[in-house]
Amino acid sequence: MTAQPRISFVSLGCPKALVDSERIITQLRAEGYELVKTHEGADAVIVNTCGFLDSAKAESLASIGDALAKNGKVIVTGCMGAEPEQIRAAHPGVLAITGPQAYESVVNAVHEAVPPAHDPFMDLVPPQGVKLTPRHYAYLKISEGCNNRCTFCIIPKLRGDLASRPVGDVLREAEKLVKAGVEELLVVSQDTSAYGVDMRYAPSPWQGREVRTRFYDLAKELGELGAWVRLHYVYPYPHVDEVIPLMAEGKVLPYLDIPFQHASPTVLKAMRRPGNQDKTLERIRAWREICPDLAIRSTFIVGFPGETEEDFETLLSFLDEAKMERVGCFKYEPVTGATANDLGLPVVPDEVKQSRWDRFMARQQAVSAKRIASRVGRRIKVIIDQPGPTVSKGRSQWDAPEIDGNVYVASRRPLRSGDIVTVKVERADAYDLHGVAV
């Protein structure tokens, strides 16, 4: 073993899993482990798995197989760790399997496989922890688990009911990140608008005051830290209306990531979706009156069991009316263990799913293109993600990293990642904007 034990890490799945990975890595770094990029030559490998869809499980199993072949000492954690039998059946040689958020068990498993080096001068971890995201943005995980029971989803089975972090802890973490140079905080959880319900909105001390563990209060306080604040996984509960004025005032980014999943009341009922979905269009209109710059990103599922052509047409009209900026669409895939499999609803044939997906994408592309083109001629703020010699790649306030579009910024002066610059938008294409730094 080398003086500093070396660990290779694979992080699969959603931003929430990425936050788990960051915590595990932070702990290991604090204990003197070194993180290496390749499995070959590492003393052990950790695979943080995703078990949300069957295709994600297959990807997780393949990653474990790859790590076993290249290294041999493999510790498995994450969502798929909640189903150890499946992993053991495919890969009996793994050293340990732990479930999601079992940070201590993962770290213990690492200690057993590769004991930590006792070096008092070992690498010190920066106080804000180790980030897997670029330094200028960071995911802020505010809770674990979910109280909803959407019929297509097994996350509550894997991760349990909602468990919010006290608001004081979240704000302290956010403050540390901002002090360490983070310019954009991405708030994530399974159900951000339900934040604090499980704690009955218990207050925590923050800067000499009491702040409630509640969605609005968190958004308001985060908005005072001087970084961009972006809200993900927000369900349209009535109290979501309260944060729109914070967006209009520029405290929180004018951006809402709301996974609507469908628009037909029958399908939404069969999906058992949370939130008040009846008057969604009216509410979107009211939000845009208060904050005309609001961008909405959403995801939808087509081909859910029982979805009729009429339901699907309702969804297409919703796209036209809601005029959302960014939309993703998935073809329904049955997830092992999900209630949707037992609803007894007629399965939508694959070719119908495919054709609905094509029609959905074509319809939404026209809507998105119009919304994006409406920014041409404006001066907007852009955060730089990837500086280039003449053109840098960045994002507007309406675009989250990884999932939305980009702004290509021509600039005579050199830009650095994390810079927030004013850009005059000159043209738009289907997804991205192009402009000049002013």
* Residues near ligand SF4, by CB under 6 A: 146, 148-150, 153, 155-156, 190-191, 274
CB 331, min distance to ligand SF4, A: 16
φ/ψ of 125, rounded to 5, equals: -90, 135
Q: Using an 8 Å Cβ cutoff, are 48 and 77 in contact?
A: yes
Give the Cα separation of 216 and 434 in Å (integer). Answer: 34
Minimum CB distance to ligand SF4 smaller for 190 or for 406: 190
Q: How far is the CB of 403 from ligand SF4 (least distance, A)?
A: 16
Closer Cβ to ligand SF4, 96 or 150, answer by number: 150
Smallest distance, Å, CB 334 to ligand SF4?
Answer: 15
Provide the pairing of β-strand 44-49 with 74-78.
Answer: parallel
State the minimum distance, in angstroms, from the CB of residue 56 to ligand SF4. Answer: 14
How far apart, in whole angstroms, are the C-alpha atoms of residue 50 and residue 257? 21
Question: Please, what is the minimum distance in Å from the beta carbon of residue 371 to ligand SF4?
Answer: 25
146 is in an annotated binding site: yes
Check the annotation: does 50 bind a ligand: yes
Q: What are phi and psi of 337, to 5 degrees?
A: 95, -5
Nearer to ligand SF4 among residue 42 and residue 79 (C-beta): 79
Q: Which is nearer to ligand SF4, 140 or 382 (CB)?
A: 140
**Is 291 a known ligand-binding residue?**
no
Q: Which of 116, 82, 105, 148 is nearest to 3 (CA)?
A: 116
Report which of 414, 415, 427 is spatially closest to residue 383, judged by C-alpha positions. 415
Q: Which is nearer to ligand SF4, 160 or 388 (CB)?
A: 160
The residue among 150 and 222 lying less far from ligand SF4, judged by its C-beta, is 150
The HSE-up count of residue 366 (CA atoms within 13 Å, CB side) is: 10
In whole angstroms, how close is the CB of 25 to ligand SF4 at the nearest point? 24
Number of neighbours of residue 295 by Cβ within 10 angstroms: 23
Q: What letters, b where the CB count within 10 A reaches 16 and e where it falls short, cover 341-350? A: eebebeebee
What is the spatial distance between Cα 186 and Cα 6, in angstroms, rounded to a whole number? 30
Q: Count Cβ atoms within 10 A of the Cβ of residue 384 and give its class: 0-12 exposed, 13-18 middle, 19 or more buried.
A: buried
- The C-alpha atoms of residue 48 and residue 112 are separated, in whole angstroms, by 18
* Cα 209 from Cα 71, distance rounded (Å): 51
Smallest gap from Cβ 234 to ligand SF4, in A, equals: 11
Provide the annotated binding site for [4Fe-4S] cluster. Answer: 14, 50, 79, 146, 150, 153
Provide the annotated binding site. Answer: 14, 50, 79, 146, 150, 153
